[in-house]
Amino acid sequence: MNTAMPDANTSTDDTLTAWAAALIDAGWARQSIEKPPAHLAGIRILTDPDGHVQALAEAHHTGDIVVELRSTALRDDNRLVWYVIAGWLDAPVVAAAARAAGDEATGQAAGDLLINGGWRLQRYEAFTTTFSEYQWASGDDACWAVFTTPDSDPDGEGGDGGWTLAHPRPDGNRQTITASARTPAALIAALALAG
């Protein structure tokens, strides 16, 4: 996975334009934006060829770019069916993740895909009968993925659960990716195994 930010000598707008152009070349459709919100230096929004996945690249004035992937479908409560929030993800990773989003399986099903990809279940902890956490790690322990189950705790304080993925970046820092519990298993595995 190319998680390193693009060359610092390239302007943020050039980076966003090149990212969008690569996705457009792969059949994605660009969504029009009148003007980026004041808190952003730039924004690009595209939809995959099947119309199921939207990708947003938001450039902040600090120079950081955040890429989000989200389902175009909504739940009954008008919330997104699933989402992923990451730092920089290059266009080929975004396209591969979107192709994987057609998977119907969610949750721990991604763990089976990770294990098939050479990862191992590193930790499992049950907090209650309905609330637990799983952690998988790559063979070299450089990358990991944590899944927290949604908690329908009867006292009303349950959480939505979700994913946290971590990959080392070439600059020595870690990239953290968060995703909803309903994010397709194959998409989670595609992001995790790309690291």
Residues 90 and 141 in one domain: no
**Based on the number of CB atoms within 10 Å of its own CB, is 37 exposed (0-12), middle (13-18) or buried (19 or more)?**
exposed
Residue-averaged pLDDT of the chain? 87
Q: How confident is the model at residue 103 (pLDDT cuts 50, 70, 90)?
A: confident
Note whether 76 and 21 are same-domain residues. Answer: yes
Please tell me the pTM assigned to this model.
0.86
- Do 114 and 190 reside in the same domain of the chain? yes
pLDDT, residue 4, reads 45
pLDDT band at 6 (very low <50, low <70, confident <90, very high): low
**Helix axis angle, 91-100 relative to 185-194, nearest 10°?**
150
Final residue of a structural domain among 100, 124, 148: 100
Residue 83: domain span: 12-100
Is the domain of 121 the same as that of 189? Answer: yes
The predicted-structure confidence for 139-166, as pLDDT tens digits, reads as follows: 999 999 999 987 766 555 557 789 999 9
Q: Contact at 8 Å (CB) between 15 and 59?
A: yes
Tens digits of residue pLDDT in 115-143: 999 999 999 998 877 788 999 999 999 99
For residue 10, what pLDDT is reported?
A: 61
Task: Return d(Cα 37, Cα 43) in angstroms, integer.
Answer: 9
